[in-house]
């Protein structure tokens, strides 16, 4: 037996009581994990218009699923603790507890996967934001196009909330036409010259939307002619720090989401520790109570342990059981077709039946 401990009746009762409290703590931890997943999912959905894909959603999806399952499994653990004090009621949990242990181990593995994915998906998140923001800036002017009419409001609110400008920086706005044609005076010489100077016939500006302006700047916001030093008094495009947000929105959003997911790491690891404590304690309680029942002395001493055999032997037994279950679940194709011997056995029976059914000829008189 691996890590065996001797339990008296009093120690079993104390273990059951302590495990009952710990199981309810695990239930609340499951609720915390579920709420954490819902919050993260909501924040991701709020910025769905500036994301190219939803791969990062796997993190909150796992958190919500694990949270709900954790609430259910740990509630079952509280019932097991109550019934462990009654020798007549505890045996009914024997088969269910094996499935419970498997689910508890799976939950811990999924929570560890969440911690790993939170760091591993940073590159995919950045790429998704890069493409999504690029499309959002490109469709900024399409306020009268169905499906894009709220894109301008989304980008403006995003830039003001996260104090950012453009995808990488404010110069991204120089490469797109962000003013709709419906607001351009095509009789103006300046508009005509700008459109003709562009190969694609777009109205490009060395300017940015109002939402890029930094209200903390002492100078009134300069939105247009940002690269023209003569257009503004006491202004140097190359040397002077502009009164615009210098950070790009892709970096701002990446930092925001990664900080949020990274901050969940300690909380998730704490929940894993609580879940593992419940799992180990429940295993000791199960084996100790079953040992006392086997000795037909519910109030006597018994031995509790984690594994009945060594780690290697236990792994081999589990592997063999899983293979037997899979083998049993497989359908034998020859069983459906029938064996040749069975067909041969049926033929004489058919002949006998035919002879019995045919009338016997009467003798000639």
Helix or strand (DSSP H, E) at 5? strand 5-7
What is the structure's pLDDT at 195? 86
At 9-62, the pLDDT tens digits run: 888 899 999 999 999 999 999 999 999 999 999 999 998 889 988 888 999 999
Which regions of the chain are under pLDDT 70? 1-2, 239-242, 309-311, 314-315, 317-319, 321-322, 325-326, 328-365
What is the structure's pLDDT at 333? 52
What is the structure's pLDDT at 31? 95
What is the structure's pLDDT at 137? 93
Residue 192's alpha-carbon distances to 141, 187, 196, 204, in angstroms, are 19, 7, 6, 11
What is the structure's pLDDT at 68? 95
Tally of CA atoms within 13 A in the half-sphere of 276 that contains its CB? 11
Q: Which string of DSSP letters, residue by residue, matches 234-276?
A: T--TTTSPPSB--S-HHHHHHHHHHHHHHHHHHHHHHHHHHHH
What is the structure's pLDDT at 322? 67
What is the structure's pLDDT at 208? 93
What is the structure's pLDDT at 255? 93
pTM given for the model: 0.75
What is the structure's pLDDT at 240? 57
| Gap between the Cα atoms of 99 and 282, Å rounded | 13
| DSSP conformational letter for 173 | G
| Gap between the Cα atoms of 311 and 317, Å rounded | 10
What is the structure's pLDDT at 7? 84
């Amino acid at each position: 037996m691996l890590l065996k401990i001797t339990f008296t009746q009093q120690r079993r009762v104390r273990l059951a009581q302590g495990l009952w409290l710990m199981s309810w703590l695990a239930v609340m931890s499951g609720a915390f994990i579920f709420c954490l997943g819902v919050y993260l999912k909501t924040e991701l959905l709020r910025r769905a218009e500036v994301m190219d894909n939803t791969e990062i959603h796997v993190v909150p999806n796992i958190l919500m699923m694990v949270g709900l399952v954790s609430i259910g499994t740990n509630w079952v653990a509280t019932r097991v603790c109550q019934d462990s004090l009654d020798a007549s009621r505890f045996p009914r949990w024997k088969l269910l507890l094996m499935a419970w242990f498997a689910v508890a181990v799976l939950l811990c593995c999924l929570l560890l996967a969440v911690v790993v994915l939170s760091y591993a998906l940073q590159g995919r998140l950045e790429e998704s934001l890069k493409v999504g923001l690029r499309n959002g800036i490109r469709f900024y002017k399409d306020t009268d196009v169905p499906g894009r009419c709220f894109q301008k409001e989304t980008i403006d609110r995003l830039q003001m909330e996260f104090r950012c400008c453009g995808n990488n920086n404010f110069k991204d706005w120089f490469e797109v036409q962000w003013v709709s044609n419906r607001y351009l005076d095509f009789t103006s010489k300046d508009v005509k010259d700008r459109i003709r100077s562009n190969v694609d016939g777009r109205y490009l500006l060395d300017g940015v939307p109002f939402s890029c302006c930094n209200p903390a700047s002492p100078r009134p916001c300069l939105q247009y002619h940002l690269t023209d030093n003569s257009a503004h008094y006491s202004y140097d495009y190359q040397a002077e720090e502009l009164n615009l947000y210098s950070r790009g929105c892709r970096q701002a959003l990446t930092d925001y989401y990664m900080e949020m997911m990274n901050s969940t790491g300690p909380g998730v690891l704490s929940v894993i520790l609580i879940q593992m404590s419940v799992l180990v304690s429940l295993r000791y309680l199960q084996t100790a109570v079953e040992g006392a029942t086997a000795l037909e002395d519910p109030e006597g001493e018994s031995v509790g342990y984690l594994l009945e055999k060594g780690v290697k032997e236990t792994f081999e037994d589990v592997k063999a059981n899983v293979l037997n279950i899979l083998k049993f679940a497989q359908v034998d194709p020859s069983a459906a077709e029938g064996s040749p011997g069975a067909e041969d056995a049926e033929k004489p029976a058919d002949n006998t039946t035919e002879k019995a059914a045919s009338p016997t000829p009467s003798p000639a008189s």
